[in-house]
């Protein structure tokens, strides 16, 4: 895909993502942080009820699991151009220390807001949200018009990409999108085999756990922003 090659080129050429000399232990710790963060973000976005999730479930119930899985692939197409734009903007900054601080602050606020929104859920009733049959093109359109990918990649994701080297940034993108897509596929499979689970308390508690994890990462980003501006 053109956007994928463009993102890779930007990551390679971008002086922001230079490989700093670190010990093996420090490199492993940093990479583990990026993988775990991306995994949690992707998992939460994948299981969180939203426009794309509804389309995935609707496609599964109306046409079968294969179509639900196809709709789950929408982020691969939509998030790429958004990441490309975010990286293109980041390359314009010669000194991004303060910019990273700003991104970390707003990213932390966004994660805490999202966490609070999830933790305040009283029930999840997916069945009432299902509408008329839609296509993969509709799933792509729904995700492109949703503010969530833009909010994430221009704040939280941007902060991680800006302070990471080339390898860390590419792994973060791959794990985040990969986990998001796989999570949507799991939702499609559950809708195909255990539709009642999507309206159950168990699913609600899964979201509570993910919401709590998001709040931890939100405070971590705010702490990073504090260290940049005040230390």
| Cα separation, 146 vs 165, whole angstroms | 29
Per-state percent for the chain, helix, strand, coil, to nearest 5 = 85, 0, 15
pLDDT at 86 over 90: no
pLDDT at 87 over 70: yes
Tell me: the pLDDT tens digits for 185-229? 999 998 888 777 766 677 778 778 888 888 888 898 899 888 888
Write the secondary structure of 170-198 as one string of H (helix), E (strand) and C (coil).
HHHHHHHHHHHHHHHHHHHHHHHHCHHHH
pLDDT at 65 over 80: yes
Tell me: the pLDDT tens digits for 101-112? 887 888 889 889
Tell me: the pLDDT tens digits for 10-59? 554 444 444 445 677 777 888 998 999 999 999 988 988 777 887 888 77
Q: Which two tokens stand for residue 191?
A: 């809708």
CB-based burial label for 158 (10 Å; 0-12, 13-18, 19+): buried
Domain boundaries, the chain: 35-230
Closest CA to 58 of 121, 124, 135: 135
96 — pLDDT class (breaks 50, 70, 90):
low
Model-wide pTM > 0.85? no
| Residue 132, number of CB atoms within 10 A of its CB | 7
Backbone angles phi, psi at 32, to 5 degrees: -60, -40
Residues near 169 by Cβ (< 8 Å), separated by ≥ 6?
11, 17, 160, 161
pLDDT at 124: 64
């Amino acid at each position: 895909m053109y956007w994928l090659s463009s993102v890779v080129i930007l990551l390679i050429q971008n002086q922001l993502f230079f490989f700093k000399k670190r010990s093996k232990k420090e490199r492993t710790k940093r990479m583990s942080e990026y993988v775990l963060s991306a995994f949690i973000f992707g998992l939460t976005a994948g299981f969180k009820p939203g426009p794309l999730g509804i389309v995935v479930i609707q496609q599964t119930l109306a046409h079968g699991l294969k179509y639900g899985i196809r709709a789950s692939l929408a982020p691969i197409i939509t998030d790429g151009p958004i990441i490309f734009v975010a990286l293109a903007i980041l390359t314009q900054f010669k000194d991004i220390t303060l910019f990273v601080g700003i991104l970390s602050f707003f990213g932390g606020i966004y994660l805490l807001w999202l966490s609070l929104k999830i933790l305040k859920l009283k029930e999840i009733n997916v069945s009432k949200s299902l509408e008329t049959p839609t296509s993969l093109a509709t799933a792509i359109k729904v995700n492109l018009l949703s503010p969530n990918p833009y909010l994430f990649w221009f704040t939280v994701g941007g902060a991680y990409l800006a302070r990471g080297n080339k390898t860390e940034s590419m792994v973060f993108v791959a794990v985040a999108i990969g986990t998001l897509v796989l999570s949507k596929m799991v939702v499609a499979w559950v809708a195909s085999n255990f539709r009642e689970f999507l309206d159950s308390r168990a699913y609600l508690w899964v979201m509570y756990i993910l919401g709590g994890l998001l709040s931890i990462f939100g405070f971590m980003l705010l702490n990073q922003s504090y260290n940049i501006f005040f230390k």
